[in-house]
Amino acid sequence: MLALLVALALAPNDARAQDPRLAARLDKPTQFAVNAIVDSARAAALPTAPLVEKALEGAAAGSDGPRIVVAVRHLAARMGAAKHVLGPRASADEIKAAAGAMDFGVTVRDLARLHAAAGKRPLTMPLAVLTDLLGRDVPLVTATSLVVQLTRAGTKDAEFALFQRNVRLDIEHGADPAVAATTRGRGMMLKAAHTGGRPTE
Amino acid sequence: MPEHDDEIIEQVADELRGPVPLSASFDARVMRAVRRFPRHSRHSRGAVWSRLTAPRAIVVRPLSAGLLAACVLALAGLGLVQAAKMVRAAAKPAVGGVFARTAKPAATQRVQFVLVAPDAKKVAVVGDFNGWDASHAAYQAKHRGGGVWSVTAPVPVGHHRYSFVVDDTVWMADPTAPRASDNDFGLPNSAIVVEADK
C-alpha cells in the first residue's frame, strides 16, 4: 500500500517530461515532433526548457507546425554546438545566450575565443550584449572583437549593461553602429586599464 | 483450629506429594510428539529458512494496531505532500532593459516593463517566462498616461527573451533593451538578463 502511494506520488514526474502546454497549444503532429526533439536534447544533457519555450513562441506568433518544428530543431542544434564549445559546466542561460548569438552569425570559433577570454566568469551578459550589437548592425568582426576584449579586460555585467545602453543611445542619435560600438568600447577598456583591469590586446 | 482438621490437611498434602502414576506408553507418546518438531541445529540445512518461514502467532492489541496504522498513513500522507511540492516546484519555469535587479533576493525578481505606445488600446508582455501568453493576467500593462504603458511582473533569474504585444496583434521589441534574434518567426524580440540581488 505504501509502495503504491509512493509510486503515485512519483508518477507526475513522468507526465511532466512532456510539457502539457505543448498539448494545449500545438496540433498533434507538431507536438509529437517537438517532444521528440526535446527528448533527444534531454538525452544529450541539453536544457530543454528553451526548446519548449521556442515552440510556445511559435504558437503565440501564429506560425504553422512545420515552421515551429524547424525553429525548435535549429535551436537544439545551436545549443548543442554551444555546449560543445562552452563545456559541460556551462549554465542553461549561457547555452541559451550563445545559441541566440549564433543565430546572428557568431561562429563556434568566436564562441571559443569568448570562452577563453572569460575564464571561469559566466558569459551570459557578454553574449546578450554581443547579440544586441549584431542586432543593431554592428559588423560581426567588430562586435565580436570588442566583446572579447571587454571580457578579457574583466568588464563586469553592470558595465556591459552600461556599454550596451550607451551604444544604443549613440546609434539612436544617428551615430554609425560600428563607430558607436568601437568608441564606447575603447572608452571602457581605457577605464578598465586605468582602474587596474587586465591589459587589452 | 481443631486437631482433626490438621490431620486432614496433612493427609491431603501427603497425597499431593506422592508420585503421579503414568502409563507405560506415556513416555513413548511424548517422545513421538517431540520428534515431530524440526531440529534446530546450526548445522542443519534450511534451518534459517525454516525459522524465517515458520508461521508465528502474534498478539496485537486493537489500540496498538490502530496507532501503528495511523502512523503509517500519516507518513504516507507526508510523503505524498512532499512529492507534490517537489513536482510543483520543478514544474515552475527556470524560473525590461538588459539588466534587471531588485532589492529582493529570490529566484524570481520583479521587473518593470515600459513601452511608449500612444495609439495602443492594450499592451501585454510575452516572453519565455510566461509561455509567450499574451493573456497572462500578471503581464498586462496599464496605461499610465501620455501613451506610456507599464507593468511590474515577476521574472525568474536568468536570461530571457520577450516582446510586447500591442492590441493582441502587433509584436514590438523593447526599444530600450538588447535585441534578441528574431529569425525563427520574423517577430521582434528583446533580451533581458535578470540577476539575483547580492
Identify the CATH number of the domain in which residue B78 sits: 2.60.40.10
Distances from the Cα of B126 to the Cαs of A46, A60, A121, B3, B184, in angstroms?
24, 9, 30, 113, 16
Q: Which residues contact residue A157 at a Cβ distance below 8 angstroms, ignoring those fewer than 6 apart?
A: A125, B99, B193, B195
Pick the range with the lowest mean pLDDT from A107-121, A134-148, A169-183, B74-88: B74-88
Q: Report which of A90, A182, A176 is spatially closest to residue A145, judged by C-alpha positions.
A: A182
Assign B109 to helix, strand or coil.
Answer: strand
Domain ranges in chain A are: 1-103, 106-195
Mutate which: A1, A5, A21, vs B, most B CBs within 10 A: A5
The Cα–Cα gap between A193 and B110 comes to 35
Range of the domain at B22: 7-53
Considering CB atoms only, which of A58, A103, A168 is closest to B181? Answer: A103
Min mean pLDDT across A82-91, A117-126, A137-146, B103-112 is at B103-112
Would you state the cell numbers that stand for residue B182, as one nine-digit string?
A: 528574431
Render B164-196 in DSSP notation, one character per residue: EEETTTEEE--TTS-EE--TTTS--EEEEEE--
Average pLDDT over chain B, rounded to an integer: 81
Residues B176 and B79 both lie in one domain:
yes
Could you report the per-residue pLDDT of B95-143, keeping only the tens digit for each? Answer: 245 555 444 445 899 999 999 999 999 999 999 999 999 999 999 999 9
**Closest chain A residue by Cα to residue B171:** A61
Is residue B105 within 8 Å of residue B196, measured between CB atoms? yes
Percent of chain A exceeding pLDDT 70 equals: 89
pLDDT of residue A192: 79
Other CB atoms within a 10 A radius of the CB of residue A179 amount to: 14
In single-letter form, the type of residue at position A110 comes to D
Q: Do B33 and B100 fall into the same domain?
A: no
Q: What is the DSSP string of A75-118?
A: HHHHHHHHHHHH-TT--HHHHHHHHHHHHTT--HHHHHHHHHHH
**One domain, residues B36 and B122:** no
Out of B19-23, B83-87, B162-166, least confident range: B83-87
User: Do B97 and B165 have their domain in common?
Assistant: yes
Is the CB of residue B132 less than 8 Å away from at least one CB of chain A?
A: yes
Asked whether the beta carbons of A151 and A118 are under 8 A apart, the reply is yes
| 3-class state of residue B150 by DSSP | strand
Structure ipTM: 0.81
Q: Give the number of domains in chain B.
A: 2
Are residues B40 and B89 both part of a single domain?
no
Query: In terms of domains, do B83 and B49 share one?
Result: no
Three-state helix/strand/coil letters over B15-51: HHHCCCCCCCCHHHHHHHHHHCCCCCCCCCCCHHHHH
Query: B177, B192 in Cβ contact below 8 A?
Result: yes
Q: pLDDT band at A101, cuts 50/70/90?
A: very high
Q: Are residues B13 and B91 in the same domain?
A: no
How many residues belong to chain A? 201
The count of other CB atoms within 10 Å of the CB of residue B93 is 18
Kindly state whether A131 is in contact with chain B, defined as any CB-CB distance less than 8 angstroms: yes
Residues of A in contact with B80 (CB under 8 A): 5, 8-9
B191–A132: do the CB atoms touch at under 8 Å? yes
What is the Cα–Cα distance from A152 to A173, expressed in whole angstroms?
Answer: 29
Same-domain check for residues B89 and B160: yes
How many whole angstroms separate alpha carbon B179 and alpha carbon A150?
19
> How close A124 comes to chain B (CA, Å)?
7
Q: Which of A5, A50, A128 lies at the smallest CB-CB distance from B178? A: A128
Structure-model confidence comparison of residues A199 and A53, the more confident one:
A53
Q: Which residue of A has its CA nearest to B95?
A: A49
